[in-house]
Amino acid sequence: DAGVIQSPRHEVTEMGQEVTLRCKPISGHNSLFWYRQTMMRGLELLIYFNNNVPIDDSGMPEDRFSAKMPNASFSTLKIQPSEPRDSAVYFCASSLPTSGSREEQYFGPGTRLTVT
């Protein structure tokens, strides 16, 4: 079975540009998570979807960040406009449909974003 798929794997963009990161969760998983990893702050949960509905977006840094999950097999994380401090690795993870994070989460390979 395919794991969590993320694209692109690497993204280099200039400050002020819009960036869209994409994620396809594991089939049958209906919890989806977006994380950001930096040296300074470690792994941070940005947003959590359950059955395509955003449950907790308290980790989204500011209004420049938005996430959608239009269906069970696709999610996007958008940054508009991007800033150099958004440079990080962004992970998408999915898990089986139990209560939130009780089940193990399976992570995608990550998107390394560099904003110059």
Partner 1 sequence: AQKVTQAQTEISVVEKEDVTLDCVYETRDTTYYLFWYKQPPSGELVFLIRRNSFDEQNEISGRYSWNFQKSTSSFNFTITASQVVDSAVYFCALSATVSGGYNKLIFGAGTRLAVHP
- Contacts of partner 1 in 20-79 (CB under 8 A): 33, 42-43, 45, 48, 50, 55-56
Output Rg (C-alpha) for the chain, integer angstroms: 13
Q: Among 87, 66, 86, which Cα is nearest to 77's? A: 66
Least distance (Å) between residue 26 CB and partner 1: 12
3-state SS assignment for residue 109: coil
Q: Of these, 29, 67, 79, 108, which contacts partner 1 (CB under 8 A)?
A: 108
Least distance (Å) between residue 74 CB and partner 1: 20
Separation in Å, CA 91 to CA 31, 66, 84, 102: 14, 15, 18, 19
Q: Binding to partner 1 by residue 2, rule CB under 8 A?
A: no
Nearer to partner 1, 74 or 107 (CB): 107
Q: Of these, 81, 87, 96, 109, which contacts partner 1 (CB under 8 A)?
A: 109
Q: Binding to partner 1 by residue 102, rule CB under 8 A?
A: yes
User: Who contacts 105 (Cβ-Cβ below 8 Å, separation ≥6)?
Assistant: 31, 33, 93, 94, 95
Nearer to partner 1, 71 or 102 (CB): 102
